[in-house]
Structure 1
């Protein structure tokens, strides 16, 4: 998956590529720890996948925040995200934007 935007700056930059491990909806929750970088379906645009950091879990509701608050639209604006929107966890950075520009 390719990163778009600056919401996860400086951890992830635009055009970075990451590997995402799919989340098992049937696994005991939370299978992904607080602080993990996750991919989820945007609550207002379900066809759009978004990368942010898992900040808190309450029952089946997730608080998801970007690392750069000034550039991030996240749980601060639209509240918690249902567990069902979770797609997976970012497990590796494959290439960085600066490597792609070489």
Structure 2
């Protein structure tokens, strides 16, 4: 998010481990909390950069879980939650995946 001037950008795979639905839920909540904090630190007092609570509690963990099952990346997850994009792809993955959690 470009919040550190000294350190280079950190690289991690937030989808890794999200085959476990508890990991997906925890990561989604941490991600949502991080976007809210980054918004405040960057001086954006509005909620533009924050995830909607419904997205953080239900949709985002399910999307992370779906991405983990299919080898997708965070870019795919963000595309799925992008405004003006109606996609059924994540729900199809979860409904058809033999080991998917019942979100």
TM-score for both structures, normalised by structure 2: 0.25
TM-score for both structures, normalised by structure 1: 0.25
Q: Whose Rg is larger?
A: 2
Q: Which has the higher strand share?
A: 1
Larger RCO of the pair (alpha carbons < 8 Å, separation 6+): 1
